[in-house]
């Protein structure tokens, strides 16, 4: 992989025609070491967040050598790029063939499920193996999350006890519970609340569990979404765990995706046309901007002018929206993306914090989506791990602050009158 000191160096040297994934392995390494040091249990990386080989290798080299996989392709990727890594197949719905291959060809022993039918499938596909770790996925409240994963998976309260009992009877080895509080969870206490919910299900079932897996949901930083400190999340998990009805030796697991990789990639895109407040870019919702289009997240941006006098462009900012390169009108990212108002065709927009669910979502629709990858050495645009500030402010935040200041500093308002009455 070619390395540049900064994205600007790349623009200066190459003026790339295709979108470029700017990867920062150091940022992934720092996040991995942070989780590995501070989380008092086992950290499984959720491969779906970014299955790039460099991510899997970097995580394994920095201590995160356990992986939450959801498909045979992910199993193969981990086997190839983190040989010897431990895997847990945590998709609650799997094909029989995928279970068979995972168990017999790759030695995967941990499987999750949220129905009796899936449990039966796992037992049949592994020939009634008695060395399985069986994890029951529970439905929990997801109202602290910016991207709720509720509805699709998870046994509901009334279904959980019989499933827990069935799992306990089916294995001589470990049995446990897992859940997902929803992605980009903005409320640390959501973990403690979910663990209390899981604990009630365990008590009702009257079983002993060996594993409590708190899933993913640990957040990153985006404009308008500045989470509390990451250690608040781990404190909440720790408090939740200490209050759970589990045996002394029970294991605590987590499955972060976003938090480990979001800071590790930004995209360098080219402006093909400017039409009013719309910029037509060479990457979009069928490339790495799925969340910007479909979840309408306003990712942070920087602007570079190419050619001979390449430089980062400053100046008064204006809100823009983006269109991607395909012919589909859904290929639209509303933003707002705050860029210098004289942005023009041929400029480069770097879109930050795209390491999670960015390149991972890319398709080849309409003949686009063919990005190259280079390594850069500068800091991400924001960081939960001290590599940059833990906030991304936009001019709109500043205007809102100014309005607050005006309101607070108005002395003749209601407060003044009240004081006189007394
Ligand atoms: C089972 C499971 N674990 C972990 C994750 C990772 O979640 P996040 O990226 O929010 O940390 C997901 C995401 O969909 C998931 O489905």
Phi, psi of 45 (to 5 degrees): -80, 130
Phi, psi of 212 (to 5 degrees): -120, 115
Position 144 scores a pLDDT of 77
What are the structural domains, with CATH classification, of the chain? Answer: 25-261 (3.20.20.10), 263-396 (2.40.37.10)
Position 306 scores a pLDDT of 87
Contacts of 83 (CB under 8 A, 6+ apart): none
Contacts of 394 (CB under 8 A, 6+ apart): 223, 224, 298, 317, 336, 338
CA distances from 144 to 135, 175, 185, 215, 223 (A): 24, 27, 5, 14, 17
Position 402 scores a pLDDT of 67
By percentage, how much of the chain surpasses pLDDT 70? 95
The closest-lying atom of ligand 1 relative to the alpha carbon of residue 70 is: 1
- Does the beta carbon of 46 sit less than 6 angstroms from any atom of ligand 1? yes
Cα 184 to averaged position of ligand 1 atoms, centre (Å): 10
Position 367 scores a pLDDT of 83
Please name the residue whose Cα sits nearest to atom 4 of ligand 1: 216
Please name the residue whose Cα sits nearest to atom 1 of ligand 1: 90
Rounded Cα–Cα distance for residues 378 and 178 (Å): 37
DSSP assignment of 35-98, as one string?
HHHHSSSEEEEEGGG---HHHHHHHHHTT--EEEE-SHHHHHHHHHHSTT-EEEE--SS--HHH
| Higher per-residue pLDDT: 367 or 261 | 261
Position 172 scores a pLDDT of 84
Cα 140 to averaged position of ligand 1 atoms, centre (Å): 14
pLDDT digits (tens, 9 = 90+) for 163-172: 999 999 998 8
Environment class of 316 (CB within 10 Å of its CB; exposed 0-12, middle 13-18, buried 19+): exposed
Cα 254 to averaged position of ligand 1 atoms, centre (Å): 10
Q: Give the mean pLDDT of 387-414.
A: 67
Assess whether pLDDT exceeds 50 at residue 232.
Answer: yes
Q: Give the mean pLDDT of 399-414.
A: 54
Rounded Cα–Cα distance for residues 8 and 309 (Å): 11
Of 389, 391, 383, 390, the closest CA to residue 34 belongs to 383
Position 419 scores a pLDDT of 39
> Helix, strand or coil for residue 167?
helix
Rounded Cα–Cα distance for residues 32 and 135 (Å): 24
pLDDT digits (tens, 9 = 90+) for 35-44: 999 999 999 9
pLDDT digits (tens, 9 = 90+) for 51-100: 999 999 999 999 999 999 999 999 999 999 999 999 999 999 999 999 99
pLDDT digits (tens, 9 = 90+) for 201-218: 999 999 999 999 999 999
* Region at 184 (left for phi over 0; alpha for psi -120 to 50; beta for the rest): left
- Does the beta carbon of 256 sit less than 6 angstroms from any atom of ligand 1? yes
Q: Compute the mean pLDDT over every residue in the chain, rounded to the nearest whole number.
A: 92
Least confident among 263-267, 337-341, 379-383, 396-400: 396-400
Least confident among 197-201, 237-241, 243-247: 243-247
141 — pLDDT class (breaks 50, 70, 90): confident
Position 404 scores a pLDDT of 62
Assess whether pLDDT exceeds 70 at residue 422.
Answer: no
415 — pLDDT class (breaks 50, 70, 90): very low
| Higher per-residue pLDDT: 395 or 62 | 62
- Does the beta carbon of 90 sit less than 6 angstroms from any atom of ligand 1? yes
417 — pLDDT class (breaks 50, 70, 90): very low
Helix (H) or strand (E) segment spanning residue 259 = helix 258-261
Q: Give the mean pLDDT of 282-297.
A: 94
Q: Are 92 and 116 in contact (CB under 8 A)?
A: no
Rounded Cα–Cα distance for residues 44 and 48 (Å): 12
Contacts of 152 (CB under 8 A, 6+ apart): none
The alpha carbon of residue 162 and the mean position of all alpha carbons in its chain are separated, in whole angstroms, by: 32
The alpha carbon of residue 305 and the mean position of all alpha carbons in its chain are separated, in whole angstroms, by: 30
Assess whether pLDDT exceeds 60 at residue 105.
Answer: yes
The closest-lying atom of ligand 1 relative to the alpha carbon of residue 183 is: 10
CA distances from 405 to 308, 400, 402, 409 (A): 44, 9, 5, 6
- Does the beta carbon of 180 sit less than 6 angstroms from any atom of ligand 1? yes
179 — pLDDT class (breaks 50, 70, 90): very high
Cα 255 to averaged position of ligand 1 atoms, centre (Å): 6
Angle between helices 189-205 and 230-243 (to 10 degrees): 20
Structure tokens at 253: 């697991």
Position 364 scores a pLDDT of 84
């Amino acid at each position: 992989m070619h390395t540049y000191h900064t994205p600007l160096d790349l623009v200066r040297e190459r003026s790339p025609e295709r979108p470029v994934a700017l990867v920062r392995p150091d940022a992934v390494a720092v996040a991995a070491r942070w989780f590995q040091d501070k989380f008092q249990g086992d950290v499984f990386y959720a491969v779906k967040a970014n299955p790039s080989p460099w991510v899997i290798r970097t995580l394994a080299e920095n201590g995160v050598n356990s992986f939450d996989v959801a498909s045979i392709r992910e199993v193969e990727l981990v086997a190839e790029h983190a040989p010897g890594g431990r895997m847990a197949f945590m998709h609650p719905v799997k094909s029989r063939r995928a279970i068979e291959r995972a168990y017999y060809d790759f030695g995967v022993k941990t499987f999750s499920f949220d129905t009796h039918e899936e449990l039966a499938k796992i037992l049949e596909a592994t020939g009634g193996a008695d060395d399985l770790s069986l994890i029951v996925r529970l439905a929990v409240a997801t109202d602290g999350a910016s991207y709720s994963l509720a509805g699709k998976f998870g046994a509901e309260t009334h279904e959980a006890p019989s499933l827990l009992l069935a799992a306990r009877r089916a294995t001589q080895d470990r049995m446990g519970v897992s859940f997902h509080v929803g992605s980009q969870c903005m409320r640390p206490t959501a973990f403690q609340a979910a663990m209390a919910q899981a604990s009630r299900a365990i008590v009702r079932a009257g079983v002993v569990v060996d594993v409590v897996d708190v899933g993913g949901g640990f957040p990153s930083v985006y404009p308008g979404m500045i989470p509390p400190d990451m250690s608040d999340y781990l404190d909440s998990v720790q408090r939740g765990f200490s209050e759970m009805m589990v045996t002394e030796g029970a294991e605590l697991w987590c499955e972060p995706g976003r938090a480990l990789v979001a800071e590790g990639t930004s995209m360098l895109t080219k402006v093909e046309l400017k039409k009013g407040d719309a910029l037509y870019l060479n990457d979009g919702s069928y490339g790495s901007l799925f969340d910007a289009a479909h979840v309408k997240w306003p990712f942070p941006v920087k602007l570079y002018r190419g050619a001979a006098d390449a430089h980062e462009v400053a100046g008064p900012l204006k809100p823009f929206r983006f269109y991607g390169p395909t012919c589909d009108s859904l290929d639209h990212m509303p933003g707002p993306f705050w860029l210098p108002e004289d942005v023009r065709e041929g400029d480069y927009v770097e879109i930050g914090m795209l390491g999670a669910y960015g390149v991972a979502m890319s398709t080849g629709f309409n003949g686009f989506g063919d990005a190259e990858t280079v390594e850069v050495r500068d800091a991400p645009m924001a960081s939960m791990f001290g590599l940059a500030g833990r906030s991304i402010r936009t001019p709109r935040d500043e205007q809102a602050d100014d309005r607050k200041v005006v309101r607070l500093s108005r002395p003749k308002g209601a407060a003044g009158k009240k004081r006189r009455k007394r």
